[in-house]
Amino acid sequence: MTTAVLRAGAWPAVAGLSGLAAVVGGCGAAFPAAATVLLPICFALLAAAAAFTLDEPASAVVDVTPTGAGRRTTIRAVALLAPLAAGALVMLAAAVRGQALPWAAAGLALAGNVLLGFAAACVARTRTGEPGAAVGTAVVLALMAPSLVPSIARWIRTFPAPGTGGPSSDPVWWTVLAVGAVAIAISVGGRRLPRWTSRVP
C-alpha cells in the first residue's frame, strides 16, 4: 500500500523543483553577495516542491477507496524529505563557504517554507486532485512578495538576512508552523470529497 501510494506521487515535479532549488541555492552559496537574493528563491522553490507532493491524477478513483485521507497524506509526506534534504544541502554548502547567516533562523525558515507549501496543498487537496501548480504559484508569489513589493519588505521578512536591520523572520515562520500544523490536521481529518465525485452512501 505504502509503495503504491508513494509510486503514484508527482516525483518528477518534486525532484525537479528540489534539484533546481539546489542549483539556485548552490549559486547563492558560491556568490555570498547574492545569497540574500538567491537563498530566498531557493527556499521558495522548495516550498513549491512541497506543494506538488499531494498531486494525485487519479484522485476521482483514489479518494473513494477505503484508505483514509490521513493515511495517504502521511505516506505522501515522506516526499517532503526531498525538498528538506535539498535545503539542508544548500545550507551546508553555504556554511562550508563561510557565510555568516543566522543558521537557526535559516533552518526555521527552511522548515517553515516546506510546511507552508505542504499545508496549502493539504487544504487545496480537499477541492482538487492536483493542487500543485496553483498552490505552488500562490506560495511562490506570497514568499517572493517582500522582494517584489518594496513596501512589504519594510514589515515582513521571509528570509533571515545577516545583520540586525529590519524585522526578524522568526515570528513569521513560528506562526506559519503553528497555523500550518492546524490546517493540515483539519484538512486531513475532515477532508471532503472533490465536488465532481458522488459520495458513497
Partner 1 sequence: MTTALAPARPGAVARRATLVPLAAREMRRFVLNPLFLFAVVMAEWITWTGGGGTATEIDEVNGYPAVFLGGFGMMAAFWLTRSMRASEPVAGVTPTSRPARTAALCWVAIVPFCCGVLTLFGFLHAYPAGDAVYGPFSPSARIAVLVGQIVVPSLGGPLLGVALGRWVRFPGAAFVLFLVIFGWVELVTIVTLWHQDSWPATVLRLFSPFAFFTVQADSGGVTAWRGSPWFFIGWQLALCAIAVLAALLRGAEGQVRTRIVRALGIAGLAALILLVLAATGGFTHAVTA
- Rounded CA separation 164/77 (Å): 35
- Rounded CA separation 200/178 (Å): 34
Using CB under 8 A as the binding rule, whether residue 60 contacts partner 1 is answered as: no
- Rounded CA separation 89/107 (Å): 11
When the beta carbons of 37 and 81 are compared against partner 1, the nearer one is 37
Min dist CB 14 to partner 1, Å, is 11
- Rounded CA separation 44/147 (Å): 12
When the beta carbons of 48 and 116 are compared against partner 1, the nearer one is 48
The residue within the footprint of partner 1, chosen from 136, 146, 160, 180 (CB under 8 A), is 136
Residues 157-196 that bind partner 1 (CB under 8 A): none
Using CB under 8 A as the binding rule, whether residue 153 contacts partner 1 is answered as: no
- Rounded CA separation 107/87 (Å): 9
- Rounded CA separation 200/179 (Å): 31
Residues 116-135 that bind partner 1 (CB under 8 A): 130, 132-133
Crossing angle of the two packed helices 103-125 and 35-51, in degrees rounded to 10: 30
Q: Which residues make up the interface to partner 1 (CB under 8 A)?
A: 12-13, 16-17, 20, 24, 27, 31, 33-34, 37-38, 41, 44-45, 48, 52, 130, 132-133, 136-137, 140-141, 144, 147-151
